[in-house]
Chains A and B, each alone.
Chain A
């Protein structure tokens, strides 16, 4: 029966070795560094709409390359909180600008990252964007992303707060320049 004991020990040793290999290998870990984002600045305005933009870096701080399969913004500005504007938002990587809101799946090698441009477009319900945004409020925006690496894909998000102050400051500075 010694051979059976040896076989069982061998199987256990191989299983432990594989487990250690997988554990040591790790996986992708993407994070959007929302605390490092730039302030939203006005990039376009007319009587009815104002468009603001900010940059948010992201990194793969895991141990493996990974892929961001999809990524999008989810702004949380309910009409109960602020009813003077309609808001739409989207993002694109700084290196591959696009305006259709589509996020092209992107490989993020480990210990690297890029930056996304987040765009917020406000449209005044009363036709006057400056008047509509005079009483702007703080609100939150989630950057939602789907990641796949070695293991199962997952969807997660990082949340940032957009302050009324930064929007109004940028809006007013454009008035001053004009």
Chain B
């Protein structure tokens, strides 16, 4: 028996939607007790209303200054992205993290800024990061992803659930899992981005036969 990854198409989800209700609506009949349900983190965040438009933000002096030290491709490289992170992680935490990050670079250590700046600093998607109509929004990371995953598992009766951040650059991170699931293992399974690009609108991926394959491997 092999794992099978089944993307599930939905309509565009908004802050008016509940992610667990949505999975039940679109995928209930496809999910069995041996399956793991994974859902894209940005879509979970959107359904939680965790987004803001740049026009709603007023970048302060620190945001305007600190964003200048973030490489251009980063979501915090704009004053608005930086301000959005400061709004949730705190201005002084971000400033301290930036100072430490710059100092660490002098001794050849990268990534210190994101280690110290807080989880949301690494999860924020700047404008263009998500599908229309949310391409004009800054989207935060999801709130309590472990709880979301557990709620999915309880409602759908599946083997497990996960909230994942995957892209086409072969980067996969599992931000939240239901009890007993291993984030690293799920990240490896999802590494080829079965969620597809945003326009494909497949924010749910069912990992079929996960429990059986895991049992086979153990045996």
Contacts and interface: CB of A to CB of B under 8 A. Distances in A.
Interface of A: 18, 21-22, 25, 64-65, 67, 69-70, 102, 104-107, 148-153
Contacts of A21: 68
A67 B73 CA distance: 11
A148 B78 contact: yes
B67 A69 contact: no
Closest 7 CB pairs of A and B: A105-B135, A105-B128, A65-B72, A105-B127, A104-B132, A104-B135, A105-B136
Contacts of B194: none
Nearest to A65: B72
B50 interface: no
Given A148-B127, A151-B79, A153-B80, 5 more contacts: A65-B77, A67-B78, A102-B133, A104-B128, A150-B78
A64 B72 contact: yes
A4 to B, nearest CB: 23
B101 to A, nearest CB: 15
Interface of B: 54-55, 59, 64-65, 67-68, 72-73, 77-80, 126-128, 132-133, 135-136
Contact of B77 (A18, A150, A152): A150
A106 B126 CA distance: 12
Nearest to A109: B72
Nearest to A21: B68
Contacts of A104: 128, 132, 135
Contacts of B72: 64-65
Contacts of A70: 136
A150 B135 contact: no
Contacts of B135: 104-105
B59 A152 contact: yes
B68 A67 contact: no
Contacts of B54: 69, 148, 153
A65 B78 CA distance: 10
A149 B78 contact: yes
B132 A102 contact: yes
Given A106-B128, A149-B78, A22 B136 contact: no
6 contacts: A18-B65, A22-B68, A67-B126, A104-B128, A148-B54, A148-B127
A69 B77 contact: no
B67 A67 contact: no
Given A150-B77, A153-B54, A67 B127 contact: yes
Contact of B68 (A102, A150, A152): A150
Contacts of B59: 152
Nearest to A96: B199
B127 A69 contact: yes
B132 A25 contact: no
Nearest to A151: B79
Contact of A150 (B67, B73, B136): B67
A77 to B, nearest CB: 28
Nearest to B137: A105
A25 B68 contact: yes
A64 B72 CA distance: 7
Nearest to A110: B72
A54 to B, nearest CB: 24
Nearest to B55: A153
Nearest to B77: A150
Nearest to B53: A69
B79 A150 contact: yes
A156 to B, nearest CB: 16
B180 to A, nearest CB: 39
